[in-house]
Structure 1
Amino acid sequence: MVNPSKINEGGVQYSIGKFDGQTVVYDFPKVLVYLNAKGKLLFGKDFKIIEEDHQIIFKLCNYFVKDLEKCAKNDIDPEKGILLTGPVGCGKTSLMRLLKHLVPMQRPYRVIPARNIVFGFNHIGYKTIEDYGNGQFFCFDDLGVEPIGRHFGKDCNVMGEVLLSRYELFLKTKIKTHATTNLSAKELEDMYGNRVRSRMRKLFNLVAFNKNAKDKRK
């Protein structure tokens, strides 16, 4: 039997909790040890989880491991996706790339920069919107700072259309969508309009870094 409380990385086995044959009881300090190790493998030896981020990582870990009790305490709906917000350089993208490895038995999502989707639209048109509105799992990175799309002289708010498609998909199939953004709710509404913003509330749990979170790239 596969033991989901043990994860092998780089020739080392990490224990992230206890498994009774049916469920895993996760041990957050052990989870942090694993995430630090995996982060170094993914992003380089200088990667480090800092203490001031523990609270937000704890919330996200509870979401990804589907700890329903802790999710309820943090007002997180495990059926929705995650919209991770925070200032530039606080580590949003790295966390979303990292945390999917905590639950290797779950279907993984692809992290795709929103601007790359717009570039695809500019090249091949509306098929791009269909492609990202399909049944795959995605995390749209840097949502809201991508340019407006343009194909054969027609402008299109590409990510706005993709989000509407993902909302329809969610209603039919419960397939989740994740995203990261530097923008506030008001800025997102200005970018995509009230209709998309209202759908985003139903698509996403909002998880926010402190607005004064440090830029880790400096």
Structure 2
Amino acid sequence: MDNPSRIIEGGVEYSLGKFDGKCVHYNFPKILIYLNAKGKILFGNKFKIYEKDKKVLLKLCYYFIKDKENCKRYGIDPHKGILLSGPVGCGKTSLMKLIPCIVPSQPAYEMIPSRNVTFSFNHIGYKAIEDYGDSKSFCFDDLGVEPAGRFYGKDCNVLGEVLLSRYELYLKTKRKIKTHATTNLNAEELEERYGNRVRSRMRELFNLIAFEKNTKDKRK
């Protein structure tokens, strides 16, 4: 019988907790050991988990392992997606690629740079909004700093339209198909970028998990 509390990476077995035959009782320090090792595999030997980021990591882990009690404690709705916000270079993209690795049995989402969605719209028009607004789970990276959309002389707030479509999909699938995103912008800046209607839908689509404003740029 498979033991979902154990993961093998590079010939090394990592324990994430204890499996009682029905469910995994996760151990956060053990999860951190695995994530640190997996991060080095994915992003290189310079990758490390910072003490200051552990609260963000903890919330993300509770969300992805579907720990209902701790999700409730931190005000996280497991049916919604994640909007991970924080300063440039704080590690948002890396974490959204890394954390789902602790639950390999769960359906994966595709990481898409938000600018690529706009580039696609500028090339093929409104079909791009249909493509990204339907059926698959996505994580839109760097939401809010993508260039303007323009197709045959007509301007379009592309990601705003995609998010409205994702909201309709979220309702239609009874909240089963989720949308995730990372952003450098705060709530006011997102509203300025996409408008009040989209911002309102974002509240229903996303759990906001935020790094501290003074989190340093790890790429420097």
TM over 0.5: yes
For the residues of structure 2 that align with 1:100 and 1:157, how far apart are their CA atoms?
30
What percent of counterpart residues are identical? Answer: 71
Q: What TM-score results when the alignment is normalised by the length of structure 1?
A: 0.99
Match for residue 95 of structure 2? 95
For the residues of structure 2 that align with 1:13 and 1:130, how far apart are their CA atoms?
42
For the residues of structure 2 that align with 1:164 and 1:3, how far apart are their CA atoms?
39
CA displacement at 1:134 relative to structure 2: 1.1
CA displacement at 1:211 relative to structure 2: 0.3
Residue identity in the other structure for 2:34: Y
CA displacement at 1:132 relative to structure 2: 0.6
The RMSD of aligned alpha carbons is 0.6
Match for residue 205 of structure 1? 207
Match for residue 15 of structure 1? 15
- The Cα offsets for residues 125-175 of structure 1, whole Å up to 9 and x where unpaired, read as 111100111111100000000011111111110000000000000011111
Alignment of 1:141-156 (within 5 A): 141-156=141-156
Runs of 4+ in 1 over 2 A off after TM superposition: none
- The Cα offsets for residues 1-46 of structure 1, whole Å up to 9 and x where unpaired, read as 2211011111111100101111100000000000000000000011
For the residues of structure 2 that align with 1:5 and 1:110, how far apart are their CA atoms?
24
- The Cα offsets for residues 55-102 of structure 1, whole Å up to 9 and x where unpaired, read as 110011000000000000000000100000000010000000101111
Match for residue 189 of structure 2? 187
For the residues of structure 1 that align with 2:127 and 2:102, how far apart are their CA atoms?
33
Structure 2's unaligned 5+ residue stretches are: none
Structure 1's unaligned 5+ residue stretches are: none
Alignment of 1:20-39 (within 5 A): 20-39=20-39
How many aligned positions are there?
218
Q: Is the 8 A contact 1:100 1:109 kept in 2?
A: no
Q: What TM-score results when the alignment is normalised by the length of structure 2?
A: 0.98
